[in-house]
Every structure is written in structure tokens, then in C-alpha cells.
């Protein structure tokens, strides 16, 4: 079995766990390929002795693997998506910190969870992404997002106006600090924090959520993800911030945005016995009540 490891820096609380993970993979006779900056962190900062079959720098030289382990938080997982893109490599998220929806294997679950995965005790779900089209080369080849596209004002002064169209039909002009277009995966991220609904990960939907709208009657909207969403932004500053997951750029308000469902999905591994509903209860404390 060929396994790619992607990660960033993490605290010393996880050093021992990471060493245990690597040892477990070697005992399972897995071929291990490590993201080069992560390898340098593990060897130079964490001072771990690493045995691996090779290093990779990104999408172009990532070898064909059976799965990729993302070691970090949800932000690390989103960055790992840019490594595999349309390569159809199943992803496993290992959480080195606190709350994690995508990186859902907690430290205390190692190495049991990894053993189950290596034994084939898992299912695979396909997560939809969105893609962004602009008239200027802003995001290059990374014009997609697993969580969301967000447009926001650049400063703390006036709001911006986001003229929004669905399949070329006018929907609304949002006068707000910004607007989020989220996938079902992203519905539990930024969109949720500004009042958006939680959407089941298998739903074929987009969520359109305004950020601090001036009109309180403007609420989040769920639309099918085969719709084309077009945005045209106006603002006093003449520029606005656009972000795809953790990547962002500043655009002139003459630049319009078109959002569609991406033409590829990301396979994510779920262990047997886990579920989206259990995740909601454990991560968001659904049903927790001192009276119960």
C-alpha cells in the first residue's frame, strides 16, 4: 500500500503520536511518501527519525497513492486537497489539535483508527467542490474550493453591494460586509459562523449566506449545485477581497465572479461506526443540556 503524508507544523504534544503513526505504517509495510516541507519539519524540528520511500513537493510530483493522510487541522486538510485535486486519492484527516470536522481522527484514537483503515474497515464518500471563473487569472489552477468562496469588503468602513444572479436571473443585491457561497462541506465552517444552515454532506446544494447584511430580512438561501451563480460587486473602495478556502486575492470591482460545481470530487475515508450525526453531536455539542 502506498500512502502519502501531508502536514504542517504542530505542537510538541503530537510528536510522540506522530512517531507512533510512522512506526505503525512501517510495520504494516506501507510505502510512505512525505510532503517535503513536512519531512523537514519532522526531522529538523520534531527530531524524528524518518524512513520513507520518497518526497514530493506538490501536485505535479505526487506519486500515485492508495490514500493520503492529512496531519493537522481542517486548514491543513484543505491545503492537502490542493495536492491531490482530481487525482481521486482518498483522504484521511488526522487531527493534531482541537475541533476538526475534516480532520476527524483525534490523537487519542491513534493507532487504532489507522489500523482499521489499513485493514480496509472503512467506507468512502465523495465530497463536491465549487469552482470559480473570473475574467482575470487570480487563483490560477487552484480555482476551486472544498469549503467556500467568500467575497468581503477590504476595510472597516462602508459595506459592499453584491449583485447576485442564479442562472442569469437576478436574485438579490446584498448590501453587506460580504457574501459566502458554501458547499455542504463548508456549511459547517465560515457559513455556519454567520448564521448559515447545516447541510448534509451528500446533499447536492450550495448555500448562499450574507455576512452582516444591512437588511435583517435577508436570510441564507440553499440552491441546487447545478445552478450557475454570478456575482458583481460594487463598493466605495473600488476593490474587494475574494477567497477560496484559505487562498485569497484582491480584485477590482470591475471583475465579476461565476461559481459552478467543480468537475471533480474529493474521496474521503470514513471509518466504520462513524456518522455525520455523531460528528454533529460531538463537535457541535448537539443535544448537550445540563438538565439531561
CA angle centred on 164, ends 158 and 166, rounded to 5°: 170
What is the 8-class DSSP label of residue 41? I
Residues 6+ apart with CB under 8 A from 38: 5, 6, 7, 8, 71
Could you give the count of Cα atoms lying within 13 Å of 132 in the half-sphere of its Cβ?
33
Could you give the count of Cα atoms lying within 13 Å of 170 in the half-sphere of its Cβ?
5
C-alpha cell at 130: 465549487
C-alpha cell at 111: 493507532
C-alpha cell at 19: 512517531
Cα separation, 181 vs 165, in Å, equals: 12
* Residue 47 CB neighbours (<10 A): 9
Grid-cell match 448534509, residue found: 200
Contact 151, 242 (CB under 8 A): yes
Cα separation, 238 vs 244, in Å, equals: 20
C-alpha cell at 66: 492508495
Distance of CA 60 to the CA centre of its chain: 20
Q: Give catalytic residue positions.
A: 74
C-alpha cell at 67: 490514500
C-alpha cell at 270: 470514513
Amino acid at each position: 500500500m502506498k500512502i502519502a503524508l501531508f502536514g504542517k507544523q504542530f505542537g510538541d504534544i503530537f510528536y510522540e503520536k506522530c512517531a507512533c503513526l510512522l512506526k505503525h505504517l512501517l510495520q504494516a509495510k506501507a510505502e510512505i511518501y512525505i510532503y517535503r516541507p513536512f519531512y523537514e519539519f519532522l526531522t529538523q524540528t520534531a527530531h524524528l527519525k524518518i524512513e520513507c520511500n520518497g518526497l514530493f513537493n506538490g501536485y505535479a510530483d505526487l506519486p500515485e497513492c492508495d490514500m493520503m493522510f492529512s496531519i493537522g487541522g481542517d486548514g491543513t486538510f484543505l491545503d492537502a486537497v490542493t495536492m491531490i485535486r482530481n487525482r481521486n486519492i482518498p483522504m484521511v484527516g488526522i487531527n493534531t489539535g482541537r475541533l476538526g470536522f475534516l480532520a476527524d481522527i483525534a490523537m487519542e484514537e491513534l493507532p487504532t483508527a489507522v489500523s482499521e483503515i489499513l485493514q480496509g474497515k472503512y467506507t468512502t464518500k465523495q465530497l463536491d467542490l465549487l469552482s470559480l471563473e473570473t475574467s482575470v487569472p487570480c487563483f490560477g489552477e487552484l480555482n476551486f474550493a472544498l469549503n467556500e468562496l467568500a467575497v468581503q469588503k477590504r476595510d472597516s468602513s462602508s459595506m459592499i453591494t453584491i449583485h447576485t444572479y442564479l442562472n442569469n436571473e437576478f436574485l438579490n443585491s446584498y448590501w453587506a460586509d460580504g457574501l459566502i457561497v458554501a458547499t455542504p462541506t463548508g456549511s459547517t465552517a465560515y457559513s455556519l459562523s454567520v448564521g448559515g444552515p447545516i447541510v448534509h454532506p451528500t446533499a447536492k446544494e450550495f448555500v448562499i449566506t450574507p455576512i452582516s447584511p444591512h437588511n435583517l430580512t435577508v436570510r441564507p438561501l440553499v440552491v441546487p449545485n447545478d445552478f450557475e451563480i454570478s456575482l458583481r460587486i460594487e463598493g466605495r473602495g473600488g476593490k474587494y477581497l475574494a477567497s477560496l478556502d484559505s487562498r485569497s486575492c484582491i480584485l477590482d470591482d470591475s471583475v465579476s465572479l461565476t461559481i459552478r460545481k467543480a468537475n471533480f470530487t474529493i474521496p474521503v475515508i470514513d471509518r466504520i461506526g462513524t456518522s455525520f450525526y455523531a460528528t454533529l453531536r460531538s463537535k457541535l455539542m448537539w443535544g448537550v443540556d445540563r438538565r439531561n
